[in-house]
Structure 1
Amino acid sequence: MNQGLTINFGENTSTPFKLNTNSKPFRKKKGNKTFESDNLKIEVFWDLSTAKYTTGPEPVDGFYVLVMVDSEIGLLLGALAEEAVTRKLKIGTPVAKVTLISRREHCSGNTLYSTKAQFCDTGIAHDILIRCNGEGEGLKHPVLSVCIDKKTVIRVKRLQWNFRGNQTIFVDGLLVDLMWDVHDWFFNPANGYAVFMFRTRSGMDSRLWLEEKMLQKEHESVGFSLLIYACKSP
């Protein structure tokens, strides 16, 4: 209903580029824009005119987003990305090394929330399904289930008392800490939301992510985190 794209550069809290396909001046779903940020020349090319969507807010096919920073490819997204590079750029254009370190999603529903996530660069995209349903007498005894690729990885009974917790799961050979906090679903239903976080552990650390030091050692790899805010529909 209100699709858009926002790109921030550096630590500047302002938004030098924002695309909202339902409002001017970026109503067109295909185009380009050039500007400067921190003395860098930024070029953004996008084409969402044939984008295809499934259940989530992200397009899954028929689109591309290309960001150039001082004539170097800084970000390249979409199924049409290679075609866009071939058509717009010279052969041998340098490509910056990028890594997805976190993503955040807001979703709304009553019993079911779904998304996709890739926990490491060499892994595959996994289907994540979060379900809250009743056991026994309807929703008087709610149960929380989290499934990855249709396989249940956690199941929390007596959710009214176990509204906060964490558990370690394995995904693509990685230790992933899963945290949930559904307190507001029960005690602040009018304005509250549940929070779910998936976070890979850094290096060979065997501790829970909450106990890790704020600063990581240089030789440790950058982890990945997925934060989901789940609101209940009125």
Structure 2
Amino acid sequence: MVSASSLLLPSSMRDFASCIGDGAVRVACASPSSTLTSGGGSGSGSGAASTLAVTASYRATPLNSNASSPPLLFRLTWAHSPVGPTLSFAPSAAAPSVLLRRRRGTRSFTLADGGGDADDAEAGSEPPMLALFWDLTAARYDPGASPEPLYGYFVVAVAGAEVVLAVGDLAAEFVKTKFEGQISKARCLAVSRRERVVVADPAAMHTARVRFSEGGPEHEVSVGCATSSGGGEELWVSVDGKRAVQAQRLRWNFRGNQTVFVDGAPVDVMWDLHGWWFRDTPGCAVVMLRARSALESRLWLEEEGAAPGFSLVVQAFKAPP
């Protein structure tokens, strides 16, 4: 079983999360305000960070699976390249991502042994299969911001006569047309989102839109750094325009955590800025927000089934890695 943390965090952040004492958690309250107008994966304007890549992970539970069957785990990675935005797909948590070189197409994968490509399956074997369909020919992007499309696209995966992944505003129409509505849909949830950004301006801000719970409202989460009145640096995290976390004296307080409440549920905020201050290029800072059940007594649980909450991870680099 692959732990949830391995899906969400670089190893340094996993080590950091595992060593934080439960007693270090402080509680603040962040209540939603009116929806803000900026909409991409990152903010716009001179104070915005430049998004290198966005990796979204999904967990699907097929309707025809038995109770002992593990859920299906997929990853979509949107990235910038010299020829424009690209899309990569991984059919399991352990499988490497495969670059989808065409803007529209289909591809088959196996779901056995980590989800390798169907072309690599052993002769005579019949591993479970997954069919992937995608169309980015009409995709529209926010210029200069996230490589993830705003609209005009779909990515759909089908396994065992069930739709197990449907992403994009055109996904529902594609499924209706392709399968004439005669196909069941598995329960599929977004479980994590990792955004890799380059921060050229020390005072830059990065903004992401996420839902911390299934069916919950969309929130705008902003992460930024500024110079405090005393001349030192401070890190802040805002939810829907309201300051939820503010950490000061970062050269001493470069690792920490705090718990805020969003939609009445706890969201753990953890930051690790050690690499930003004390390492050479690329100099990475990591901030994570992870929703958890009120019944969880620990800040971070390794087992995937014990840590089902959605996570947002922002990795900021001084220069492209």
TM-score range, shorter chain: 0.7 to 0.9
**Residue matched to 1:50:** 138
* Counterpart position of 1:79: 169
Partner of 1:209: 299
Return the offset for 1:177: 0.5
1:223 has 2:309 as partner: yes
Question: Could you say which residue in structure 1 is the equivalent of 2:41?
Answer: none
Q: Per residue, is there more strand in 1 or in 2?
A: 1
Of residues 86, 91, 99, the one that matches 1:9 is: 91
Paired residue secondary structure (1:75): strand
SS in 1 for 2:190: coil
- What's the CA shift for 1:65? 0.5
How does the TM-score come out when normalised to structure 1?
Answer: 0.84
1:23-44 CA distance string (max 9 Å, x none): xxx2x31222234443123211
Offset, 1:156: 1.5
SS of the residue aligned with 1:98?
strand
Cα separation, 2, equivalents of 1:222 and 1:155: 26
Picking from 101, 107, 114, the partner of 2:191 is 101
Are residue 124 (structure 1) and residue 222 (structure 2) matched?
A: no
Structure 1 residue 183 displacement after superposition: 1.6
For residues 203 and 65 of structure 1, do their structure 2 counterparts lie closer, same or farther at Cα, with a shift above 3 Å needed? same
Q: Secondary structure at the match of 1:222?
A: coil
Distance 1:101 1:161, change over 3 A: same
Instruction: For 1:48, give the aligned amino acid.
Output: L
Distance 2:109 2:229 in 1: 59
2:245 counterpart of 1:154: yes
| Secondary structure in structure 1 of the residue aligned to 2:250 | coil
Tell me how far 1:221 sits from its aligned partner: 7.7
Q: Can you list the C-alpha shifts for 1:69-122, whole angstroms capped at 9, x where unaligned?
A: 132111000011111112111323011111222222211113222222211112
Match of 2:116 in 1: none
* CA separation of 1:37 and 1:158: change in aligned 2, threshold 3 A: closer
In structure 1, what is the equivalent of residue 106 of structure 2?
32
Is the Cα contact below 8 Å between 2:282 and 2:318 reproduced in 1?
no
Given that 1:50 and 1:62 are in contact with CA atoms closer than 8 Å, whether structure 2 keeps it comes out as yes
1:1-42 C-alpha deviation (Å, 9 max, x unpaired) = 422222222355344x431xxxxxx2x312222344431232
Write the letter of the residue equivalent to 1:158.
R
2:180 matched residue in structure 1 = 90
Structure having greater relative contact order (Cα 8 Å, sep ≥ 6): 2
Q: Which amino acid aligns with 2:99?
A: K
Give ranges in structure 1 of 5+ residues lacking alignment. 20-25
Q: 2:281 touches 2:319 (CA, 8 Å); kept in 1?
A: no
Shift of 1:125: 2.1
Instruction: Tell me the residue number matched to 1:23.
Output: none
Aligned equivalent of 1:115 = 208
CA 95–189 in structure 1, closer or farther in 2 if over 3 Å, else same: same
1:91 aligns to what SS in structure 2?
A: coil
Residues 206-227 of structure 1 deviation map (CA, whole Å, 9 limit, x = unaligned)? x3413x4x347x7x78212222
Rate the CA distance shift 1:229–1:91 in 2: closer, same or farther, 3 A: same
Segments of 5+ residues of structure 2 without an aligned counterpart are: 1-79, 113-126
Contact 1:56/1:115, CA 8 A, preserved across alignment: no
The residue number in structure 1 matching 2:15 is none
What TM-score, normalized to structure 2? Answer: 0.62
Report the residue type matching 2:172 in the other structure. Answer: E
Provide the identity percentage.
33
Where does residue 141 of structure 1 map in the other structure?
Answer: 232
The CA distance in 1 between the partners of 2:244 and 2:224, in whole Å, is 12
Tell me whether 120-129 or 49-58 shows the greater mean CA deviation. 49-58
